[in-house]
Amino acid sequence: MGTQGTYSIAVLPGDGIGPEVTEQAVHVLQAIAQQYGHSFHFQYGLVGLAAIEAEGKAISDETLAVCQGSDAILFGAVGGAQPGAAVKPEEALFRLRKGLQFFANLRPVRPSPAMLDASSIKPEILQGVDLIVVRELTGGLYYGHLEPGVPGKPSEIRETPQGYEAIDTLLYTEAEIERIVRVAFDLARERRKKVTSVDKANVLSSSVLWRRVAERVSKDYPDVAFEHLLVDACAMHLIRRPASFDVIVTENLFGDILTDEASMLAGSMGMLPSASLGTRRTEHGIFGLYEPIHGSAPDIAGQNKANPIAAILTAAMLLRHSLGLKEEAATIEAAVEQCIQAGYRTEDLREEGKEILGTKEMGQRIAEKVVALAGSHTV
Ligand code: IPM
Ligand code: MN
């Protein structure tokens, strides 16, 4: 038996496929709790469209307080409103990320050896790919001022005599850049000791500062190999030589775009988990927000078609980083890998000769593997 503990987890299933995939992640966590003798206390809250309907806001202050009082937050997905809607469901994410200061978003990409053929990239290019993108999450273009007319960081559409114009603000302070770059270097020390800092310093002032700060911080890590790469070149090299990357660190929007691209190395967006961390510690680890990288996919919502693996691997990251349960996290990851090896696939990964399962059935198989693996660990 592992050490027994009691943990509180805020669960925010959200919109579209969010509830379906989160349900499976919770089932897998329940299997872990049972096998290892832990007690997980799940507290559910509304976010996104459901919260806007019921509470008028994408996330209420009460829900935010529940999150703040928990050891970790498990998030599904939000989105699906009409463009230009008065309240955006995505604001729930921005309030959580910014309000709770989760500035470091870790997005690991490690294609399963059994799935190299599922990718649109040639298997020989995918051989040995094991990278992690460290995406800055609380600055840049995502956080222009939300109130129109407020000076400083405008983000708005405005009318002029010549017609409409729109503006967003890309602002980074030196301190914001330094803390995220340090996260990348510290991570690299536990991995293959290589950091690639990605910017657009040939065009953007914010990137010139980014590069200058990254360069300075790199001097504190002489044991870690360091390079700069322009974001357009990075997009190309991600599919040309993905195995050459170890840790990639970049600003908010570049990280958003590059990780959707990188998810294709792993076969599907439905495979990639993420952890959003700050500096606050809880009794057991680092306080964090855990989100699969995929969105709410309204087109397949409620049809038992969505791939729950990203959400389940996200739960594994939660165990590792926020609850300090490393063995339990590894058990989930091994269970997922074994299910993939056994040939189970969801619709997004349809392949000749593989068994296609629904969201529930895939979650069920993974939970069963967790029980089998944990059982053999504990005898
Ligand atoms: C992500 C998502 C979000 C983002 C959306 C839903 C606002 O695409 O987590 O990558 O852009 O950060
Ligand atoms: Mn995204």
Which atom of ligand 1 has the smallest separation from the CA of 105?
A: 9
Report the distance separating Cα 66 and Cα 9, nearest Å: 9
State which amino acid sits at residue 80.
G
| pLDDT of res. 3 | 56
| pLDDT of res. 4 | 75
Q: Which one of the ligands is nearest to 78 CA?
A: 1
Per the DSSP assignment, residues forming a β-bridge with 104 are: 136, 277
Decide if 59 contacts 51 (C-beta within 8 A).
Answer: yes
CA angle 106–190–267, rounded 5-degree value: 45
Tokens of residue 8, six digits: 């509180």
State which amino acid sits at residue 63.
T
| pLDDT of res. 146 | 63
378 contact partners, CB below 8 Å, separation of at least 6: 1, 2, 35, 36
Please identify which of the residues 61, 117, 232, 299 carries the catalytic annotation: 232
Question: Could you read off the pLDDT of 251-282 as tens digits, one per residue?
Answer: 999 999 999 999 999 999 999 999 999 999 99
pLDDT above 50 for 367 = yes
| Residue whose CA lies nearest to ligand 1 atom number 4 | 256
Segment 217-225 shows an average pLDDT of 98
Please identify which of the residues 88, 200, 305, 369 carries the catalytic annotation: 200
Least confident of 65-69, 150-154, 171-175, 359-363: 150-154
pTM value is 0.95
Catalytic residue flag (residue 260): yes
Which atom of ligand 1 has the smallest separation from the CA of 295?
A: 6
Report the distance separating Cα 258 and Cα 111, nearest Å: 16
Share of the chain above pLDDT 90, in %: 91
Segment 339-350 shows an average pLDDT of 95
Sign of CA dihedral 31, 37, 43, 47: negative
Q: Which one of the ligands is nearest to 296 CA?
A: 1
Would you tell me how many other CB atoms lie within 10 Å of the CB of residue 120? 8
State which amino acid sits at residue 151.
P
Decide if 51 contacts 61 (C-beta within 8 A).
Answer: no
pLDDT above 80 for 149 = no
| pLDDT of res. 379 | 44
In angstroms, what is the span from residue 273 Cα to ligand 2's centroid?
A: 12
72 lines ligand 1 (CB under 6 A): no
Report the distance separating Cα 213 and Cα 228, nearest Å: 12
Catalytic residue flag (residue 232): yes
